[in-house]
Homo-oligomer: A and B are copies of this chain.
Amino acid sequence: MDLKQKFRENVKKIKAYIYVLQLAGWDSNTEAPRNSFKRRGEILNVLSKELFSLQTSPETIKAINELYSNIDEYDDLFQREIRKAKRSIDKIVNIPEKEYLEYQRLINDSQLIWEDAKHNNDFESFKKNLEIIFDYNKKFALYYAPDKNPYDTMLDDYEEGMSTKDYDIFFDALKKDLVPFVKEILSAKKEDYSKFINNKYDVKKQEEFCDYLIDVLNFDRNSGLMKKSVHPFTWNTSPEDVRFTTKYLENYVFSSIFAAIHELGHALYEQQVSTDYDNTLLNGGTSMGIHESQSRFYENTIGRSEEFWNTHFNKFKELFPEQTKDFTAKDMYKAVNQVEASLIRIEADELTYPLHIMLRYDIEKMMVNGEITVDDLPEVWNNKIEEYLGIRPSNNSEGVLQDVHWSGGMIGYFPTYALGTAYSAQIYHAMLKDLDVFKIIRENRIEDINSWLKEKLHKYGSSKTPKELLVMITKEEFNPKYYIDYLKEKYSNLYLNK
């Protein structure tokens, strides 16, 4: 067998293990009974170890290094695969096994410690773990790239090609333009839709509406399905099996609707990747940022547009005649775009959301660069949110303890949320040159939008980097201007022009 063929065989085997581990994850998150988890953990551990051995065996490493040293002999697609494989290997090989295992254990333990700390509003009990997590991540980043700023390495981990330099330009633009605009909007006079929003909406009917949305967005039911879970997510193993979940709250109907549309965005992306990549390392969406650009596009640009509710409010009314008695499609449009300064990121609206991310970026950067320590975190957090949104947490549970990410070792992940949304505005700007998007939404032909995205973006899977895709689609490098313009236009129209 030649080297390429051997690599293929190895990838196929690795993918088989990942597949069943993913399947167990889907099951765990959507239906597995409570008492099954202990034994499941032990069993999956056996297979995870097998997988890890496969991925890091001396033989595998040797093969990848050999392929890499002759990379020019291969076509572009295979070159990209080799680079991805090489990168994964290089991330691990220099970490002493002892440290790797210690870190795995730390991450595992920290989940519960964080949960308890958040629940008890007790930052002190989580502080030590958080400090060690930051230390390990810094150390690992330096093992991989000793001469690079560790935070740059982390940022690149979650969004290939991005660095502090790129993000600084992005967030500085937001700071300059968006923070004052948000303040203006926050102080504008607004109707109060909270009674409408927080009315009681029967969960079965909510389910029916979400099921209706599946067809509105033209998700392929033969290649996927919707379920519910505590935290909405999208799951996929190939374009032919893409599943997603949403979350139902009786007193907050928008939770299920916008989680469903958001996850449908992720899911449509995955369904439209070319199946040619199924048995390669080029399957699936190319990055966190690009993925988030798709979910946010469907959720906000489509799902929170006036046209969308002009078309679909009737269906909503049909399911909830009582709750919508005195309300029009226009009211719905306003209600789904209600802006307010809030402390919790995952509850933030489209306009204030990026400021929550900016704050996390500032803090991660300072932490990794040693400008602040874990002791400073609560105070720095509270000062920043006050600076950006004019409100201050009364406790750490609604401040620095609110997110799960750091306890899971994910440092450098947050910025992709805002970046993705900004990507989406830039891509949307390009789309408007080809498509009459509002007409399409009004006429309920979202498949036309899907087709455009498939041809321009989705079908490529991870065969191209985020940067390559963005330039291909929009003919320019990442530019935060489109995002800021989009937000200013939409929210000026909603709250300042009337």
Candidates B15, B43, B227; contact of A43 at CB < 8 Å: B15
In the complex, which residues of chain B have a beta carbon less than 8 angstroms from the beta carbon of A33? 221-225, 240-241, 243
Chain B residues contacting A44 (CB-CB under 8 Å) are 16, 20
Copies of this chain present:
2
Question: A344: shortest Cβ distance to chain B, in Å?
Answer: 31
Contacts of A23 in B (CB 8 A): 20, 23-24, 27
How many chain A residues touch B (CB < 8 A): the figure is 38
B35 and A240 contacting across the interface, CB-CB below 8 Å:
yes
Q: Taking the complex as formed, is A490 at the interface, i.e. its CB lies under 8 A from any CB of chain B? A: no
- Which residue among A15, A20, A27, A223 has the maximum number of chain B CB atoms within 10 Å of its CB? A20
Chain A 225-253: CB-based contact to B (< 8 A → 1; otherwise 0)? 10100000000011011010000000000
Additional 12 contacts, C-beta under 8 A, given A27-B27, A33-B241:
A13-B46, A16-B44, A17-B47, A20-B23, A23-B24, A23-B27, A26-B27, A33-B221, A33-B224, A33-B243, A38-B240, A40-B241
Nearest Cβ on chain B to A119's Cβ, whole angstroms: 22
Q: Are A34 and B238 in contact (CB under 8 A)?
A: no
Task: Kindly state whether residue A122 has any CB partner on chain B within 8 Å.
Answer: no
Residue A39 contacts which of B221, B222, B237, B243 (CB distance < 8 angstroms)? B237
7 contacts between A and B (CB under 8 A): A20-B43, A23-B23, A31-B227, A33-B224, A35-B222, A36-B238, A39-B237
Residue numbers of A with Cβ under 8 A of B are: 12-13, 15-17, 19-21, 23-24, 26-27, 31-36, 38-40, 43-44, 46-47, 220-225, 227, 237-238, 240-241, 243, 278
The answer to whether A43 and B16 have CB atoms under 8 Å apart is yes
Distance from A188 Cβ to chain B, minimum over Cβ atoms (Å): 46
Q: Are A35 and B237 in contact (CB under 8 A)?
A: no
A220 proximity list for chain B (CB < 8 A): 35
Chain B contacts for A238, CB-based, 8 A: 36, 39
A35 surroundings in chain B (CB, below 8 A): 220, 222-223, 240-241
A68 to B9, CA, bound (A): 37
Known: A40-B241, A240-B36. A47 touches B20 (CB 8 A): yes
Would you call A46 and B225 a contact (CB within 8 A)?
no
| Chain A facing B: main interface SS | helix
Closest beta carbon of chain B to A275's beta carbon, Å? 8
Cross-interface CB contact of A46 among B16, B26, B47, cutoff 8 Å: B16
Interface centre among A27, A220, A241 (most CB of B within 10 A): A241
CB distance from A401 to the nearest CB of B (A): 29
Contacts of A278 in B (CB 8 A): 39
Q: Which residues of B contact A43 (CB under 8 A)?
A: 15-16, 19-20
Q: Please measure, in the bound complex, the distance between the C-alpha atom of A27 and the C-alpha atom of B223, giving whole angstroms.
A: 14
By beta carbon, the residue of chain B nearest A30 is B31
Q: Once the chains are docked, how many angstroms separate the CA of A68 from the CA of B34?
A: 39
- CB < 8 Å neighbour of A24 from B12, B20, B39, B46: B20
Residue of B nearest to A278 (CB): B39
Complex: chain B residue closest to A26, CB-CB: B27
CA gap between A384 and B66 in the complex, in Å: 70
Residue of B nearest to A220 (CB): B35
Q: How far is the CA of A237 from the CA of B16 in the complex (A)?
A: 20
CA–CA, A221 to B34, complex, Å?
A: 9
Which of chain B's residues have a CB closer than 8 A to the CB of A19?
43
Complex CA distance for A17 and B46, rounded to whole angstroms: 9
CA distance A278 to B43 in the complex (A): 11
A32 touches B240 (CB 8 A): no
Contact B16 A241 (CB under 8 A): no
User: Which B-chain residue is minimally distant from A204 (CB atoms)?
Assistant: B204
Residue of B whose beta carbon sits closest to that of A31? B225
Q: A13: nearest residue on chain B (CB-CB)?
A: B46
Please name all residues of chain B whose beta carbon is closer than 8 Å to the beta carbon of A225 when the two chains form the complex.
31, 33
Q: Distance in Å from the Cβ of A41 to the closest Cβ of chain B?
A: 12
Q: How far is the CA of A20 from the CA of B39 in the complex (A)?
A: 13
Q: Please, which residue of chain B has its CB at the minimum distance from the CB of A227?
A: B31
Q: Which residues of B contact A34 (CB under 8 A)?
A: 222-223
Whether A241 pairs with B32 at a CB distance below 8 angstroms is yes
> A24 to chain B: which residues have CB within 8 Å?
20, 23
A31 to B225, CA, bound (A): 8
